């Protein structure tokens, strides 16, 4: 007497096993780009130091401002 074994067909759909890793790598790259942009790059909004040095050759005696002459009576 032969006994036949019934076997079920098992289909394994393995078409997305690496998709999570790819999305993770892309997310890390985007995060690093955002940190660079806001902390170190052009979007940092850092202080704009405007150092204006007026160098008059060491002469601290600047000429006084002159007032215009009063109009003469005619």
SS3 15: coil
Per-residue pLDDT of 1-53, as tens digits, reads 566 777 788 887 766 668 888 999 999 999 999 998 888 877 666 666 666 66
User: Which of 16-23's residues contact partners 24+ apart within 8 Å by CB, and which partners?
Assistant: none
- Using a cut of 0.85, tell me whether the model's pTM lies above it: no
Contact criterion met (CB below 8 Å) for 38 and 44: yes
């Amino acid at each position: 007497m032969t006994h036949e074994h019934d076997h079920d067909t098992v289909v394994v759909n393995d078409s997305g096993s690496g998709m999570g890793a790819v999305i993770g790598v892309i997310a890390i790259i985007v995060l690093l780009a955002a940190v660079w942009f806001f902390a170190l790059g052009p979007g940092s909004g850092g202080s704009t130091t405007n150092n204006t040095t007026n160098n008059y050759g060491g002469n601290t005696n600047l000429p006084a401002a002159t007032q215009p002459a009063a109009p003469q009576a005619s």
